[in-house]
């Protein structure tokens, strides 16, 4: 199974592509960020995010898209703009017929680090450890996206085990 994790943002959208083998081993295929210019109109920034995700989807035979849900920031405008960036990611997956899963930030941190209150640095460190990487995945937005993909892999593996136990 190949999973594309997306950490949406209007300025920087992180992405991470991981592959889970049938034995449960997970490996990193690619990670990075899609950057937009703050002075551009929101519609153009959303187009860049959408096209960037489409490019990543074109490079990999993705089986599932995992996206972080909206967290409620103190600034309502930030929350709304983040929702737009998520929409661009969801649309990219939907147009290709890829199933989409959504995970709350605390759920992702709990799956990767063991606590829903983990710091970005703790998430980066655990992603490095879980994937046996030589260096920390950078920038932090890319590491967060990889963590989202790993969270989905763990959830899928758990669902498979539960179905097998029936």
Question: 50: how many CB neighbours lie within 10 A of its CB?
Answer: 20
CA angle in degrees (0–180, nearest 5) for 162-123-75: 105
Question: Is there a catalytic annotation at residue 7?
Answer: yes
As separate numbers, helices (DSSP H) first and strands (DSSP E) second, the chain gives 5, 5
CA distance 22 to 50: 30
Task: Examine the residue annotation and report whether 144 is marked as an active-site residue of this protein.
Answer: no
102 included as an active-site residue: no
Residue 141 Cα to chain centre, angstroms: 9
Q: Which of 68, 107, 121, 160 is catalytic?
A: 68
Catalytic residue among 51, 63, 102, 141: 141
Shortest CA distance to 83 belongs to which of 15, 8, 142, 5?
A: 8
Q: Cite the active site residues.
A: 7, 68, 141
């Amino acid at each position: 199974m190949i999973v594309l994790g997306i950490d949406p943002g209007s300025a920087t959208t992180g992405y991470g592509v991981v592959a889970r083998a049938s034995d449960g081993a997970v490996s990193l295929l690619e990670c990075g960020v899609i950057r937009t210019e703050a002075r551009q109109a929101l519609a153009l920034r959303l187009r860049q995010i959408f096209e960037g995700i489409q490019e990543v989807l074109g490079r990999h035979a993705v089986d599932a898209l995992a996206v972080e849900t909206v967290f409620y920031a103190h600034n309502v405008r930030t929350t709304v703009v983040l929702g737009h960036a998520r929409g661009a990611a969801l649309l990219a997956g939907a147009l290709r017929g890829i199933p989409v899963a959504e995970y709350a930030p605390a759920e992702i941190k709990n799956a990767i680090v063991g606590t829903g209150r983990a710091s970005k640095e703790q998430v980066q460190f655990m992603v490095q450890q879980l994937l046996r990487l030589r260096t920390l995945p950078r920038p932090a937005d890319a590491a967060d996206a990889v963590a989202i993909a790993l969270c989905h892999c763990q959830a899928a593996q758990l669902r498979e085990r539960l179905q097998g136990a029936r």
